[in-house]
């Protein structure tokens, strides 16, 4: 609603009008919406996430595989012992959990040694048909039992919790090496919930089309937009509101693409009206509508069960088991079920013994669940942690490093070349685990195998583009503004093998305003682009 002063723009005089526009200019809106950080910029009138260059996501995008990975985040720290019940050592389990244990007659045995609570019986059909595996004791050394640090470690693969990029963010940084000026046709990843989780963060940008609320994603998919753009007050406030809504809408640069896939797809089963069920129903519809995105992430919260665990945990696990069953029933209707692997993750497990509030406290290791017909055989992977020894503080010790599971999925499910997998996992080689699937080896062109790198070094007075050439070659570097308009050429010459430094201010030959820019490097048949700041 507009007040009298804003209805009549001349009453307050030109000075007040100009000041209001200065206060509410485009950059102010971008800042208010979180769009003017290093990771997002205007390009051709559309806000889009900026991209850096690594080789891994390019390999995923160029992979001939049509496989899809769905990550199911069990947020809060899932209690593994009440999810996969250790029948083989039931007495120890029951002794430590006199109040919250599952009685044996309430457990469905998957094998003579392990079972699931009866209320998870929706998974039995998947198990019986060879479409479910359980990886025992997943965790890492010197486990951090903090929600925030634990989530970051699982996302970044860095147990020191100092790296601020995610394994799939690094994995996607090179989907298109020239992303800023030639963005991909479909989202690299779609994430529902857990906004702020850094699993899809690259060195400066998040690579997932993300919404916190599944209803919001469904609305975007149905309409192709976020806000109504048909009616605004005739005043300064109306102009501000129109700009804010328009900027928010265009932030979802893939809304039209998602809308088309959502319209083309359909759900052939009726999902539970539950947190996870509604998220997976949207994912199934996008997959069946041939969106083309290869990684999805959904979130089921509430697993921090310090109290009242029997009731709360059962509700969550029923949602998980029923939603997974319906998801694969739905995918099977279109022949997509064998192309989709689902994997659960959680920041930690919980302690062996119950606490005084009929719950469990933060622990360490927990089982990781895998679903999908492509697994080609049910089973348990690895060794279950010993309930009798633990770590002396009531925690299960890990027996399987989570990064080994990640490496196996990247290489053997998403079909990424082994060396690029190691790069995504912070240049570390982790053992691969036999999870029941494999890929034919894919090859990359010779250039992409070489170590071409580029980044920006900021000094007090300049921005320096640093390039490492694998060999001497002709190199062209151009500078663009955030609208994608060419400003000038920084370098057009042979650059020697090794490290080269290009001063932006000295090379451009003209005065540059403070702000955000894009540089594009062209070498041979390859092009790379990234954002930089002029201070």
The overall pTM is greater than 0.85: no
Specify if 437 maps to a domain. Answer: no
What's the rounded Cα separation, in Å, for the pair 287 and 295?
A: 10
Whether 384 and 470 map to the same domain: the answer is no
Q: Which uninterrupted H or E stretch holds 74?
A: strand 68-75
Number of residues that this document lists for the chain? 535
Of the candidates 383, 392, 380, the residue with the CA atom closest to the CA atom of residue 351: 392
Whether 464 and 413 map to the same domain: the answer is no
Predicted confidence at residue 343, as pLDDT, reads: 97
**Terminal C-alpha separation, the chain:** 39
Q: What is the pLDDT along the chain (535 residues), one digit of tens a residue?
A: 454 443 343 334 444 434 433 333 333 333 333 322 223 322 222 222 322 333 444 455 455 568 999 999 999 999 999 999 999 999 999 999 999 999 999 999 999 999 999 999 999 999 999 999 999 999 999 888 888 788 888 777 888 877 777 767 665 665 445 555 555 667 778 888 766 667 766 665 555 666 666 677 777 777 766 666 667 677 766 666 665 565 455 445 566 777 788 888 999 999 999 989 999 999 999 999 888 888 898 999 999 999 999 999 999 999 999 999 999 999 998 889 999 999 999 999 999 999 999 999 999 999 999 999 999 899 999 999 999 987 888 999 999 999 999 999 999 999 888 888 888 888 899 999 999 998 853 333 344 445 678 888 989 899 999 998 888 888 999 998 876 778 999 999 888 888 999 999 999 989 998 888 888 888 876 777 777 888 8
Of the candidates 507, 514, 496, the residue with the CA atom closest to the CA atom of residue 465: 507
Neighbour-count burial for 258-277, b at 16+ CB within 10 Å, e otherwise? bbebbeebebeeebeebbbb
Asked if 98 and 108 count as a contact pair (C-beta separation under 8 A), the reply is no
Asked if 58 and 171 count as a contact pair (C-beta separation under 8 A), the reply is no
Asked if 346 and 78 count as a contact pair (C-beta separation under 8 A), the reply is yes
Specify if 25 maps to a domain. Answer: no
Predicted confidence at residue 528, as pLDDT, reads: 79
The whole domain housing 202 covers 56-424
Of the candidates 470, 491, 522, 421, the residue with the CA atom closest to the CA atom of residue 59: 421
Whether 369 and 246 map to the same domain: the answer is yes
Whether 419 and 460 map to the same domain: the answer is no
Predicted confidence at residue 184, as pLDDT, reads: 63
Neighbour-count burial for 284-296, b at 16+ CB within 10 Å, e otherwise? bbbbbbebbbbbb
Q: Which residue has the tokens 């998947």?
A: 126
Whether 520 and 406 map to the same domain: the answer is no
Whether 352 and 492 map to the same domain: the answer is no
Whether 361 and 504 map to the same domain: the answer is no
What's the rounded Cα separation, in Å, for the pair 395 and 411?
A: 31
Q: Print the SS3 string covering 1-58.
A: CCCHHHHCCCCCHHHHHHHHHHHCCHHHHHHHCCCCCCCEEEECCEEEECCCCCCHHH
What's the rounded Cα separation, in Å, for the pair 520 and 330?
A: 44
What's the rounded Cα separation, in Å, for the pair 275 and 212?
A: 12
The domain total for the chain is 2
Whether 361 and 483 map to the same domain: the answer is no
| φ and ψ at residue 459, rounded to 5 degrees | -110, 180
Long-range contacts of 506-510 (CB under 8 A, 24+ apart): 506/462, 507/477, 508/479
**What does 341-406 look like in DSSP terms, one character per residue?**
EEEEE-S--B-SS--TTSS--B-S-EEEEEE-GGG-S-EEES-PPPTTTTTSSSPPPPSEEHHHHH
What's the rounded Cα separation, in Å, for the pair 387 and 191?
A: 36
What's the rounded Cα separation, in Å, for the pair 59 and 443?
A: 9
Query: Packing angle between helix 255-264 and helix 275-288, nearest 10 degrees?
Result: 90
CATH number at residue 119: 3.40.720
Specify if 314 maps to a domain. Answer: yes
User: Rounded to whole angstroms, what are the CA distances from 299 to 265, 285, 399, 456?
Assistant: 22, 17, 25, 35
Predicted confidence at residue 243, as pLDDT, reads: 53
Whether 460 and 403 map to the same domain: the answer is no
Q: CA neighbours within 13 Å on the CB side: how many for 295?
A: 23
Whether 230 and 365 map to the same domain: the answer is yes
Whether 378 and 484 map to the same domain: the answer is no
Specify if 431 maps to a domain. Answer: no
Whether 400 and 473 map to the same domain: the answer is no
CATH number at residue 500: 2.60.40.3080
Specify if 39 maps to a domain. Answer: no
What's the rounded Cα separation, in Å, for the pair 212 and 193?
A: 4
Specify if 212 maps to a domain. Answer: yes
Decide: residue 94, CB within 10 A, 0-12 exposed, 13-18 middle, 19+ buried: middle
User: Rounded to whole angstroms, what are the CA distances from 8 to 242, 263, 398?
Assistant: 18, 44, 69
Domain boundary among 424, 443, 463: 424
Specify if 5 maps to a domain. Answer: no
Specify if 108 maps to a domain. Answer: yes
């Amino acid at each position: 609603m507009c007040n009298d002063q804003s209805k009549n723009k001349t009453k307050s005089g030109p000075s007040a009008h100009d000041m209001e526009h200065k206060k509410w200019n485009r950059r102010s809106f971008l800042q208010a919406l979180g769009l003017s950080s290093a990771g997002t910029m205007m390009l051709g009138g559309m806000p889009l996430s900026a991209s850096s260059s690594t080789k891994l996501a390019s390999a995923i995008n160029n992979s001939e595989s049509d496989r899809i990975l769905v990550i199911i985040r069990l947020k809060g720290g899932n209690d593994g012992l009440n999810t996969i019940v250790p029948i083989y050592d039931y007495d120890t389990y029951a002794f430590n959990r006199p109040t919250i244990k599952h009685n044996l007659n309430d457990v469905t045995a998957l094998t003579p040694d392990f079972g699931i609570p009866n209320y998870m019986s929706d998974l039995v059909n998947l198990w019986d048909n060879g479409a479910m595996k359980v990886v025992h004791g997943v965790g890492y050394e010197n486990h951090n039992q903090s929600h925030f640090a634990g989530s970051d470690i699982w996302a970044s693969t860095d147990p020191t919790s100092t790296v601020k990029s995610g394994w799939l963010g690094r994995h996607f940084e090179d989907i298109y090496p020239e992303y800023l000026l030639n963005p991909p046709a479909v989202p690299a990843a779609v994430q529902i919930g857990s906004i702020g989780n850094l699993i899809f963060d690259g060195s400066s940008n998040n690579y997932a089309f993300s919404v916190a609320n599944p209803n919001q994603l469904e609305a975007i998919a149905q309409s192709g937009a976020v806000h109504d753009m048909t009616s605004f007050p005739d005043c300064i406030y109306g102009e501000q509101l129109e700009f804010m809504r328009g900027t928010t809408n265009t932030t979802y640069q893939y809304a039209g693409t998602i809308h088309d896939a959502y319209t083309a797809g359909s759900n052939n089963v009726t999902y539970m009206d539950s947190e996870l069920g509604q998220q997976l129903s949207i994912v199934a519809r996008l997959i069946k509508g041939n969106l083309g995105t290869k990684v999805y992430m959904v979130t089921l919260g509430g697993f921090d069960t310090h109290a009242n665990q029997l009731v709360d945990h059962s509700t969550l696990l029923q949602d998980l088991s029923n939603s997974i069953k319906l998801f694969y029933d739905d995918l099977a209707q279109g022949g997509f079920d064998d192309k989709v692997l689902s994997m659960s993750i959680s920041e930690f497990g919980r302690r062996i013994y119950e606490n005084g509030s009929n719950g469990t406290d933060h622990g360490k290791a927990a089982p990781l669940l895998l679903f999908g017909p492509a697994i080609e055989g049910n089973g348990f992977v690895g060794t279950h942690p010993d309930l009798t020894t633990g770590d002396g503080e009531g925690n299960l010790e890990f027996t399987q490093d989570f990064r080994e599971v990640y490496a196996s999925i990247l290489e053997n499910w998403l079909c990424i070349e082994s060396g690029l997998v190691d790069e995504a996992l912070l240049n570390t080689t982790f053992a691969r685990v036999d999870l029941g699937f494999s890929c034919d080896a894919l090859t990359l062109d010779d250039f992409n195998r070489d170590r071409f790198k580029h980044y920006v070094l900021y000094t007090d007075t300049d921005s320096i583009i640093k390039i490492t050439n694998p060999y001497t070659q002709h190199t062209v570097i151009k500078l663009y503004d955030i609208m994608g308009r060419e400003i000038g050429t920084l370098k057009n010459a042979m650059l020697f093998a090794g490290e080269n430094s290009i001063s932006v201010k000295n090379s451009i030959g003209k005065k540059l305003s403070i702000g955000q820019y894009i540089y594009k490097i062209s070498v041979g048949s390859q092009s790379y682009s990234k954002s930089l700041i002029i201070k």
